[in-house]
Amino acid sequence: MNVRFADRRPEGPHALAIPLTAGKVEAARLAGLSGDAAAFVARAAAAAKFEGEAGAVAELFASEGRILLVGLGDGESDKAYEKAGGAIVAKVQTSEKTLVIDFSGHKTSGARAGALAFGAVMRNWRYDVYRTKLKASQKPSLDEIVIVGAGEGAEAAWASAKALADGVSFAKELVTEPANIIYPESFVERCRKLADLGVEITVLDDTEMAELGMGALLGVAQGSRKPARLLVMRWKGADKEPVAFVGKGVTFDTGGISIKPAAGMEDMKWDMGGAGAVAGAMLALAGRKAKAHVIGICGLVENMPDGNAQRPGDVVTSMSGQTIEVINTDAEGRLVLCDAITWVQKTHNVKTIVDLATLTGAMIISLGNEYGGLFSNDEGLADKLLKASDASGDKLWRFPLGDAYDKLIDSPIADMKNVGPRGAGSITAAQFIKRFVEDGVKWAHLDIAGMVWSAKAGPTWDKGATGFGVRVLDRFVADNLEG
């Protein structure tokens, strides 16, 4: 969808949206409308009890045509502008071709106009590739947004926001695609377009990983006909020490021999949401030419239960040399992450790692679909990620780590087992990953199991993939690695 900025409203048919801060809507606040139309709109807003709450929309028809009033709350929050942009688009996505958002007479910064455009574009994202029988009234028609009267710097703000929107959209696309379309090899192919933006792409196949001793990752993949891949994306936008983002990319998770219940298993196409977030973040960083050095790693496997699949009780040797007793083959994501984390430490000598994974159902029990879980061995890194979370809207909540939890994954026949007892499942999973983080390396684990897919529409997404994780990584880089 095209977004452009203008000094006046364009000619031709369009829907008109007028953003308003909270308070009684008076005719004088409706800049750009004729006197009679402004008075009519003010009366209609009062009848609809519209008072400008963030994201609230009042829709009416006047002599100027279709008009939507959208609330900005107190007008002091970027998130309110994003919410307003998404709310407008949700109303007109399938009924209008052009949407004009008019800030005339309202003081707003270019950055906040860019935030509104970002929210609008994000909410407009849909993936109708496989839908062949949509009625005309169900098909998206909106293809242009014209923002009038935006503050200074709006176009520059939108250029950066657009790069982020592209990254979030890419993550949504990867997560939305079914597992017969996105599997380890095709995930890699989708990501090759990042090379056009200057991202260095390296791919390790299963033979190369076997030579490196990645028995944990390859053990997950051995029941599938789809070979595993390790995708490495390097963005060197500055001559600095690299930071690594590592994503769990289980492109479909049956649970393996420890097979999941049939009900809801189709959702396991999004068990690669961590890898999708890493790929989306790398696209966003390259798209806005971030002045940072970031390495994105995606451990890509499919977890299937054929005759060659690993069994509960098998012992595998990880790339680090540590041995793992596989108690539950459905606790596979940590097996993928441990080898990917070992590889990036040994290959690139990174000193900061953030991993993202739809790792545990226990996280959804703990936090529902409101927050992702944060675990870290470093207070400073945890604090930076929490601040990036608050600023970006990808909300995180910190959980504890400790020796008492770590002991729960000791194995009687190997260095560790891949699951602990029923309690503290998300914590023991994080403790497992922590065992593969070298001394002196700052590490954080984001368990985003409840966040990459939504059963209901949100401010910047429709039902389905949310793109969670891209924004918090992008903001973390902007706040801490650039400048």
Report, as residue numbers or ranges, the catalytic residues. Answer: 260, 334
The answer to whether 157 and 82 have CB atoms below 8 angstroms apart is no
CA atoms within 13 A on the CB side of 261: 2
Look up residue 69 and give its amino acid: L
Among all chains, which residue has been given the structure tokens 């017969």?
A: 180
Question: Whole-angstrom Cα distance, residue 262 to residue 243?
Answer: 39
What is the rounded distance in angstroms from the CA atom of residue 59 to the CA atom of residue 69? 6
